Structure 1
């Protein structure tokens, strides 16, 4: 039995996605659709959960087609590409079985399609679907209130998105989208690309991590490491300590600093090109009392054992930052394994 693999974010699934899925189901005995960017906090770039995306895709297909379709959700692993490829391979092989004949299908959209040739012995077999449709364009029209998006998605997806547009979550995402559009307009006045520098603090104490809940317009309600932009006259460490103090009231000594790392994945932030320098502080003794201040709605300690099950609450790549400092891979929540 030959198995095809179609990888994407499907935010949302548009007509070209559906055509690719239908052609693959007509051509191969089994199709595995890999839902990328799984278990992340909803943003204007990734507004729909993995469950919602699966629901939309299945609603576009007949029962016989659905019986040969499998969907797997894979979290982002920005700072270890080979590990991400291994995670996809393991998930697909768990479905296809040992020694199965597997190929990658899809189409070359842009530089983000590099993964099509990244699986070694899994050959790339083009879907034959060539389309100018873009999920980015669908989302921009959706949040802008431009009804043209309706013609770009299958009927079942249109119904889902129209219902979602009546929710409070859509209103939050639309407000965030408008804020981001304002930032983009401001950047157009500069003669060169703007590079932002931030500093974050991963504070660990007795198996717990210090987090804040964001209060601002971007990522409102998301959980994050204490941090923010570096001011012109301070070092990276000074910025991390200042943000930590301002947002939580915590002031660790210099001896608590154990490691630093530049987190520079180009797409890590919707705010623009933001490089964040992570600082790992390890405190002796029990976690000290903290309180949310400044632009943090609250500050709290989270047991590291609960990290994976809450990864969909994290802002930007902060879950991946914690995983990097812990020396481990991002993991699907236990209930999804």
Structure 2
């Protein structure tokens, strides 16, 4: 009897595992939205992790209509370039990038995304607001933030002349230097004295 029960349990576990893999194989695309101001090591890790579950990741650059502000110092073109550089350096090819402008209406924002971006099955986010916008319509998977790594922290460290370079891929350090991004962040984000 005990042997039979263990056998049944094992069969159940196998079916459950099989179903889990079947579910993952059905998910062709995932959506990962961020402002990427700048693109950092946490973003890279999240994209790599998502690609273990989906065949292709759609990277949505949020606030694409915002630039040269404290929260959005880099242009959308620069953010696209950062993403392309970092992913190429990591041999990541299964992605597409779309720009997503801000709307002052959550429903219009989601409708715009659905109308302009290819079909996706799951949303990856570390942002509560993004999670709320998509929950109920899509499967939402929360990404775990890397401790101490955020674009806000990086911009703050740049302003304070603290080490920020270790929080971003090396290629992004070089790119930010090339576009004089450090000077721009300091000019835009440092309050007038």
Question: Which residue of structure 2 aligns with residue 89 of structure 1?
Answer: 114
Structure 2 portions without partners, runs of 5+:
1-26
CA distance, structure 1, for counterparts of residue 185 and residue 168 of structure 2: 20
Alignment length (residue pairs)? 164
CA distance, structure 1, for counterparts of residue 97 and residue 87 of structure 2: 13
Q: 1:318-333 alignment to 2 at 5 Å?
A: none
Asked if the contact 2:106/2:133 (under 8 Å) is kept, the reply is no
Question: Which residue of structure 2 aligns with residue 175 of structure 1?
Answer: 187
Q: 1:27-42 alignment to 2 at 5 Å?
A: 27-42=53-68
Structure 1 portions without partners, runs of 5+:
183-337
User: Superposition RMSD on alpha carbons, in Å?
Assistant: 2.2
Shift of residue 64 of structure 1? 5.6
Asked if the contact 2:57/2:95 (under 8 Å) is kept, the reply is yes
Question: Which residue of structure 2 aligns with residue 72 of structure 1?
Answer: 98
Q: 1:85-164 alignment to 2 at 5 Å?
A: 85-92=110-117, 95-96=118-119, 102-108=121-127, 113-119=128-134, 120-127=136-143, 129-132=144-147, 133-146=149-162, 148-164=163-179
3-state SS of paired residue (1:179): coil
Structure 1 or 2: larger strand share? 1
Shift of residue 25 of structure 1? 1.8
Query: Residues 111-163 of structure 1, C-alpha deviation per residue, up to 9 Å, x if partnerless?
Result: xx222132232111234x332212111011113322x1001111111111122
* TM-score, normalization by structure 1: 0.45
The higher relative CO (CA closer than 8 Å, separation ≥ 6) is in 2
Query: Residues 45-87 of structure 1, C-alpha deviation per residue, up to 9 Å, x if partnerless?
Result: 2111111111111111248622x20111111112x22111111
Shift of residue 44 of structure 1? 2.7
Q: 1:177-326 alignment to 2 at 5 Å?
A: 177-179=189-191
Q: Which 10-residue stretch deviates more, 18-27 or 56-65?
A: 56-65
* TM-score, normalization by structure 2: 0.75
Asked if the contact 1:32/1:71 (under 8 Å) is kept, the reply is yes
Structure 1 or 2: larger helix share? 2
